[in-house]
Homo-oligomer: A and B are copies of this chain.
Amino acid sequence: MTRILGVLGGMGPLASAQFMLRLTLLTPAARDQDHVPSVLWSDPRVPDRTAARLGGGEDPLPALLRGLRGLEGAGCGAVAIPCNTAHGWFDAMQAATTLPILHIVDAAEAELRRLGVAPGPIGVMGTEGTLAMRLYQDRLEPRGWRCLVPSPEEMRRLVSPAIAEVKANRVAEAHRPLAEAARVLVARGARAVVLGCTEIPLGIAAGPALPFPVCDTIDALARTAIAWAAQRH
């Protein structure tokens, strides 16, 4: 039995497409048949995760569970969700399916270690929802990491508008503010910066490379998914 990867995506759709691209490019393959079979459920109608958490917006969980049902129906053996903020509903999703969900924060930690970054102070950029839910802090700090995050003012001026630019296909415009926010975190002592929202690596990649380690959570999740697919079964 080949393992089929389920991808619960559309949050945003460009990040999901980029995940599929990186899943393919990071797979050691000599022909089509060597690649990871996968089903991408790209539902950009899922209610905004940050608005739900911070502003009393519509609950995204019913739409997330519909996607999980769809991936189960398609015969998938595990689920990757290339949206950090959606992991605020991780426990509810995992309780609702027997399929293992590959946690993006664990993937980010593995990627930091792969980049040679040892536990200690790191920068974490993400949506307001991801930061408010302490998705990185509560999962990584017990393991020896210390998460430095942008100030509310930096979120309002730099990170949040840049994420919205990527969701509106204005990727190049997102580079400068995201790069500035990352540099600020390094200046405060971060040894590396986690791009903890899957829109952020798209904006960061649209300009010159940053002179410190950055953890792209799209690539991190893709590597974790490829390792899952390669396991004996």
Name A residues whose Cβ lies closer than 8 Å to a Cβ of B.
Answer: 2, 10-14, 16-18, 20-21, 23-25, 27, 29-46, 48, 70, 73-75, 164, 167-169
Oligomeric state, in copies? 2
Compute how far the CA of A45 lies from the CA of B164 in the bound complex, rounded to whole angstroms: 37
The 8 closest A-B pairs by CB, nearest first: A17-B20, A35-B44, A40-B40, A17-B21, A13-B35, A32-B44, A13-B24, A12-B32
Docked pose: A74 CA to B67 CA in angstroms = 9
- CB nearest neighbor in B for A48: B32
Task: Check if B169 sits within 8 Å of A24, measured CB to CB.
Answer: yes
A74 close to B41 (CB less than 8 A): yes
Are A33 and B40 neighbours in the complex by a CB distance under 8 Å?
A: no
Q: Which residues of B have CB within 8 Å of A13?
A: 20, 23-24, 32, 35-36, 38
18 new A-B pairs (CB below 8 Å) besides A17-B24, A30-B168, A37-B43? A10-B38, A13-B32, A16-B20, A17-B17, A17-B23, A20-B42, A29-B167, A29-B168, A29-B169, A31-B48, A31-B167, A31-B168, A32-B46, A37-B44, A38-B42, A39-B39, A39-B40, A70-B75
